[in-house]
Chain A
């Protein structure tokens, strides 16, 4: 046993030998040997962590050891410092920080020493581990000498040491936030990195490592990019590197350029002409990995400008951060022809290859982004290309022309596009049926989908689809569902958007006459032998969902019939026996799709009274199937089944109580699913559905549900996005069970109170954090609303009085904070009303003292938002009664 060896072994030498052997065994092809070694490593770590980590670092640093054991030692060490899950990561960080200082110093010394190793794998591994340690220690100011000692390395003569050191600096920039390093040191790092990229640097490995390191260091260069001279220098070096004879350096240099383009968009103006020159040369002449990055530069500039123009509605307002420099618009006359050229460089069979990414794909994608950036201006630049190529004998030309057309359909105005589409539509429909080339058909079907996505729907003035062409369009699309899987999948996609355009069509849908035929064709597509290819089965079911969602009363009967069809399919998947793991995976995927479809149907039929009763005749069978689905463990399937059950509970109402005995354990299981937090989140929502369906009949399940919800809230493993809905769920439960919520008050209220304190002040400029804080506030407030309304008129109302001061204080403080959104505002003022309504005169003086009952209420009363105003009216009446008694 390893443990004994460490504790009672004969000396350091033996122990080290032992570690080497275990690390090598852990890479053995023999799984028994491997597992045993892994077990030993685990035990070692558990028994004596400091010795374990130290021996790993010693192993990594030992030049005489085999490179494989050194490398693995480094990786195990790295994994002991970092993990993907936030919660685990935090634990590991704390564990490292609590280690004895001398142990840590020895480990760090070993790591730095390894940077001079002649084994490049050992150096590279050490670089990564150093960066992880730096990621923990630099923010705590615990390893102040690190950067200095690395920088002194840079001036060492052996190029491999220099290379490893610069690589380490790159990793370090990736791991550490810019604030953790002094500007002085940042300057030195950047100087070292940029000098390493310079043409004066003779060693190619050093230049490559430097270029890659710069990619990570770009975020650190804020100050340097604000200084004209420094920025000019960095840009010059990067642009020169794009012309390096080494393809890897050119590629890395373009990666830097892409990153600079999005990080320092506003500093690009002086360089954009030069960048255009070098990128267009790269797109035309360079090797593909380089050319792809060159196109990516322009795609990311489009992303920036779309963001800016979207944010300010086309006009830059004086006080916002970044103005639009219209780089794309300026480059347009040269950029568009460049991109159109790339479209002709397709690969054979790229449509069958899920992982394909080539020049034509990148070019077309960029063209689409350009169209979104400049709108109408792109149309005259692309039309000649389309007209010239679309009828050519070479499929590449026809495909490129079609792809160009499909790419520019988002961005330009419908006014500009509709006349062109009206002319092109007939041609497209013919191409989809008759073109001999599958690639052309694929792109044609995709283009039709884009036409329907962007130019068809109730908001558009001129309809593309008319009574005259509707039948032909549908016939062609349904026909194409029998074509090659990739073509059929695109045809499904086109039908999806066709149906979506009719979502709010009113009581009569143009699709009604074809409904049955469409459904049958989609079901046939799902049954194809090759439906697993090109995502066809998924696309067919998703289109079926959309067809159901957009259907009207006229076809309700057919949707009801579909319930049986989907149930039969689901039943079949549950009966399948003795499946290979591959087959089981497919079955699981299918179950997810079927549950999703069932959920859409239940939601559709449950939404109107007559169809609801037609649906409910199947509720026993549906429930039975869904419960069996839970037995198969897969997160996506659980989520879909859970959502179906929520929709069913809503439709069923109080009668849902008969399913509770069997369903409850799955509900509990869902609430316990920390890892797959989406399942947990969806289950929390379903608890709300069940509360509203069962009302007070949910009472007997509440002990279990509340226990789980409270556990969820206390867990630091659960994704934070689930916590606001859990609070809302407290409100749902309280509203359903009324004063019976009494016994949960002592648990729920302190949790609400501490969450309220946390969320009262955002103290953050981070939009995402403010958004989260507001959703948390909303959840807390919905809980309070539900609790107050639940206790209304109960003799136990007085139990809530002690909480009133805090709640009013919470309302006041979020009002003062001035960063709540409209939803929170509406919920908050509603809580004020509920508090006044339920506590009445008991809270009168408290209410009168609160800011909320005056300024906040007045602000809400004069709000333009109808919902806020309505809640405010409620609060006003409730308060006037409470304080008048």
Chain B
């Protein structure tokens, strides 16, 4: 029952370095565990948002908090098929297929959208390969529209190389929507999907572009190439799509070869697949590739289209829901040895698209064969129609400028009406 020794620590710091070592190790382990979980969730969130967005493409204002929104069963199934951990490592065929579905694909501009000057941005699109650039785990990978690998390289993007000093947590992965421009070996960033683990899917174009411009420069990715940063990244000059902006985008000098103009709706979120909220438009002045070329690089006499064969023999565009261009009979399909889901190339006989009430009613098609194996998707309806128009009655820059002009007038008169 002796009372405790009254001796107290004398001239000794009140801590132990061993305990400090233990504590620091525990902190590191706890942090690593949080990072691992966070990364899994972050990637899951990305895919989730994608699926949700594509399901509600028609109502971009929709809120996730709303519990009773409807999601298409098919989209939901796709979401579950996807393995988060697989995408995290960005390996293999599955990941490739997944990435192939993630790009936002502009529709072709077949008529001028309303409020072009107030609600849209315009910029000159660089000629080159459209791709996703993903930096994670100390490496940067670019994947083409079909999911195929373009480059694997170190970059100054967050977590884009083993030598840059950003922490290696799951938070620092990035996904950029780019066009790789061969001539100057530069990635032109046309959109930002994720930055440092922060998903930009739910952000408006306005915010994405603002973030892209500030963050990309900050990261050092816009600097000249070096061994730790193999390719330079550049942003595009984005204009408000008013008279002046449109003219500047159309005719202004750029460091790259132009391939048409891109129009972005300012309020749109990033969503995978075709969207009418981003549009592409070209003419001969701003693109060498107005009319599609065939596999030999020649412009064919007749317009060609690539369509997907559905299980009942119908020929469909990429769109969701698809537009049907015709139907093959089963004998013909058997003779060709084609299967459901195959892509087939056709030529359109001159003047052979028939419309009724603005809808395609019938197309006069000639079967040419199967497209290049690298081809992952059928053509979209808007692309077919743009190409068709380009051959017959193209939508010219004057039309775009005129529509801006007229909408200005309209606004003024509306105001006047209200005053009256």
Q: Given contacts A647-B28, A650-B28, A880-B64, is CB(A171)–CB(B1) below 8 Å?
A: yes
Q: Determine the distance from Cα of A692 to Cα of B170 in the docked complex, in whole angstroms.
A: 12
Given contacts A215-B3, A793-B83, contact A880 B67 (CB under 8 A): yes
Residues 56-86 of B at the A interface (beta carbon under 8 Å): 64-71, 73, 76, 79-85
1/0 per residue, CB under 8 A from B, across A636-650: the answer is 100110010011001
CB distance from A310 to the nearest CB of B (A): 14
A876 touches B64 (CB 8 A): yes
* B360 CB–A CB distance under 8 Å: no
Decide yes or no: A688 and B29 within 8 Å by CB, A789-B40, A793-B84 being known contacts.
Answer: yes
Check if A610 sits within 8 Å of B163, measured CB to CB.
Answer: yes
Tell me if A786 is interfacial: C-beta within 8 Å of chain B: yes
- Residues of B within 8 Å of A682, CB to CB, are 22, 25
Pair A738/B85 contact, Cβ less than 8 Å: yes
CB of B3 within 8 A of CB of A885, answer no
Q: Once the chains are docked, how many angstroms separate the CA of A689 from the CA of B27?
A: 12
Looking at A545, A650, A728, A880, the one whose CB has the most chain B CB atoms below 10 A away is: A880
- The answer to whether B67 touches A885 (Cβ under 8 A) is no
Stretch with Cβ within 8 A of B (4 or more), from A199-207, A292-300, A525-533, A766-774: A292-300
CA A763 to CA B317, docked complex, whole Å: 65
Query: Any chain A CB within 8 A of the CB of B41?
Result: yes
Most chain A CB within a 10 A radius of its CB, from B36, B52, B161, B162 = B36
Complex interface residues of chain B between 17 and 52 (CB less than 8 A to chain A): 17-18, 21-22, 24-26, 28-29, 32-33, 36-37, 40-41, 44-45, 48-49, 51-52
Encoded as 1 (CB less than 8 Å from any B CB) or 0, chain A from 584 to 619 comes to 000000000000100110010000111001000000
Bound together, the chains give a CA A692 to CA B40 distance in angstroms of 13
Chain A residues whose C-beta falls within 8 Å of the C-beta of B162 in the assembled complex: 609, 613
B288 at the interface (CB under 8 A from A): no
Residues of chain A lying within 8 A (CB to CB) of residue B49: 877
For residue B7, give the distance in angstroms from its CB to the closest CB of chain A. 5
Which A853-885 residues have a C-beta within 8 angstroms of B? Answer: 874, 876-878, 880-881, 883-885
Interface of A is mostly: helix
Q: Is A342 an interface residue (CB 8 A)?
A: no
Q: How far, in whole Å, are A650 and B49 apart by their CA atoms in the complex?
A: 32
Contact at A357–B67, with CB atoms within 8 Å?
A: no
Chain A residues with Cβ below 8 Å from B7 are: 357
Chain B residues, Cβ within 8 Å of A643 = 21-22, 25
Asked whether, in the complex, the Cβ of A603 is within 8 Å of the Cβ of B10, the reply is no
Q: Are A884 and B1 in contact (CB under 8 A)?
A: no
**B37–A258 touching, CB < 8 Å:** no
Given that A609-B138, A689-B32, A793-B80 are contacting pairs, would A837 and B1 also be in contact in the complex, using a CB cutoff of 8 Å? no
Chain B, residue nearest A642 (CB): B25
In the complex, whether A216 has a CB less than 8 A from a CB of chain B is yes
Residue of B nearest to A170 (CB): B1
Set of chain B residues within 8 Å of A493, measured between Cβ atoms: 13
Tell me whether A685 and B32 are in contact (CB under 8 A).
no
Contacts A596-B21, A646-B25, A688-B29 given; does A840 touch B37 at CB 8 Å: no
Would you call A692 and B163 a contact (CB within 8 A)? no
CB of B8 within 8 A of chain A?
Answer: yes
Whole-angstrom distance from the CB of A248 to the nearest CB of chain B? 12
B165 beta carbon closer than 8 Å to chain A:
yes
B24–A609 touching, CB < 8 Å: no
B168 proximal to A (CB < 8 A): yes
Find A603's partner among B3, B28, B138 (CB 8 Å cutoff): B28
Q: Known: A170-B1, A833-B41, A883-B67. Contact between A609 and B6, CB under 8 A?
A: no
Residues of A within 8 A of B67 (CB): 880, 883-884
Q: Which of A650, A782, A874, A884 contacts B32 (CB 8 A)?
A: A650
In angstroms, Cα B2 to Cα A293, docked, is 13
Q: How many whole Å from B181's CB to the nearest CB in chain A?
A: 29
**A338-386 at interface with B (beta carbon < 8 Å):** 356-357, 361-362, 365
Complex Cα distance, B20 from A497, in Å, reads: 14
Roughly how many angstroms separate A57 CA and B384 CA in the complex, as a whole number?
A: 105
Hey, which chain A residues are within 8 Å of B69, CB to CB?
880, 884
Query: How far in angstroms is the closest Cβ of chain B from A251?
Result: 9
Q: Is A877 in contact with B37, judged by CB distance below 8 angstroms?
A: no
Contact A357 B10 (CB under 8 A): yes
Interface size range of chain A in the complex: 35 or more
With an 8 A cutoff between CB atoms, is A810 at the interface?
A: no
Residue A212, interface by CB 8 Å: yes
CB-based contact A596/B80 at 8 Å: no
CA distance A841 to B76 in the complex (A): 10
A255 interfacial by beta-carbon distance below 8 Å: yes
A792 close to B83 (CB less than 8 A): yes
B residues 310-345 with Cβ under 8 Å of A?
Answer: none
- Give CA–CA (A443, B11) in the complex, Å: 8
Contacts of B66 in A (CB 8 A): 880
- Which residue in B11, B68, B76, B168 is a CB contact (below 8 Å) of A490? B11
Write the nearest CB–CB distance from A585 to chain B, whole angstroms: 17
Assuming the A-B contacts A596-B17, A884-B68, are A609 and B33 also in contact, with contact meaning beta carbons closer than 8 angstroms in the complex?
A: no
Judged by a CB distance under 8 angstroms, whether A785 is at the interface is yes
Question: Complex Cα distance A828/B160, Å?
Answer: 33
Check B235 for interface membership: any CB of A closer than 8 A: no
Considering only CB atoms, which chain A residue lies closest to B79 in the complex? A881
Instruction: List, in ascending order, chain B residues with CB within 8 A of A59's CB.
Output: none
What chain A residues lie within 8 Å of B81 (beta carbons)?
793
Question: Which of B10, B28, B67 gathers most chain A CB within 10 Å?
Answer: B10
Q: A596-B21, A876-B64, A878-B48 are in contact. Are A362 and B6 (CB under 8 A)?
A: yes
Task: Tell me the A688-714 residues at the B interface (CB within 8 Å).
Answer: 688-689, 692
Of all chain B residues, the one with the shortest Cβ separation from A841 is B76
Q: Could you tell me which residues of chain B, from 355 to 385, have a CB within 8 Å of some CB in chain A?
A: none
User: Is A735 interfacial (CB-CB < 8 Å)?
Assistant: yes
A292 to B7, CA, bound (A): 9
Chain A, residues 826-844, CB within 8 Å of chain B (1/0): the string is 0000100110010011000
Judging by beta carbons under 8 Å apart, are B6 and A293 in contact? yes
Q: Contact at B1–A174, with CB atoms within 8 Å?
A: yes
Q: Is residue A82 contacting chain B, with contact meaning CB distance below 8 A?
A: no
The reply to whether B48 and A881 contact each other, CB–CB distance below 8 Å, is: yes
Contact yes or no, B41 A446, CB < 8 A: no
Contact A732–B33 (Cβ < 8 Å) = yes
A362 to B7, CA, bound (A): 8
A213 to B163, CA, bound (A): 69
Cα–Cα distance between A643 and B51 once the two chains are bound (Å):
43
Report chain A residues within 8 Å CB of B41.
789, 830, 833-834, 837, 874
CA distance A213 to B3 in the complex (A): 11
Residues 487-528 of A at the B interface (beta carbon under 8 Å): 490, 493, 496-497
Q: How far is the CB of A558 from chain B (nearest CB, A)?
A: 19
A542 within 8 A of B: yes
Residue from A216, A296, A546 within 8 A of B1 (CB atoms):
A216
Q: Is B164 an interface residue (CB 8 A)?
A: yes
CB distance from A445 to the nearest CB of B (A): 9
Q: Is the CB of A880 within 8 A of B45?
A: no
Q: Which of B400-420 contact A (CB under 8 A)?
A: none
Smallest CB separation, A369 vs chain B (Å): 9
Partner of A212, one of B1, B33, B82: B1
Given contacts A299-B8, A732-B33, A880-B64, contact A647 B25 (CB under 8 A): yes
Subset of 19 A-B contacts with CB under 8 Å: A170-B1, A361-B10, A362-B6, A546-B17, A596-B18, A608-B165, A609-B165, A610-B165, A613-B162, A650-B32, A682-B25, A688-B32, A689-B29, A728-B33, A792-B85, A840-B80, A880-B66, A880-B67, A884-B68
- 12 further A-B pairs in the complex, CB-CB below 8 A; given A493-B13, A881-B71: A212-B1, A613-B162, A646-B29, A647-B25, A678-B22, A689-B29, A731-B33, A789-B40, A793-B81, A830-B41, A877-B45, A880-B65
| A-B CB proximity, top 8 nearest | A542-B17, A793-B83, A296-B6, A255-B3, A357-B7, A885-B76, A446-B11, A789-B40
Show the binding face of B for A, using Cβ within 8 Å: 1, 3, 6-8, 10-11, 13, 17-18, 21-22, 24-26, 28-29, 32-33, 36-37, 40-41, 44-45, 48-49, 51-52, 64-71, 73, 76, 79-85, 138, 161-165, 168
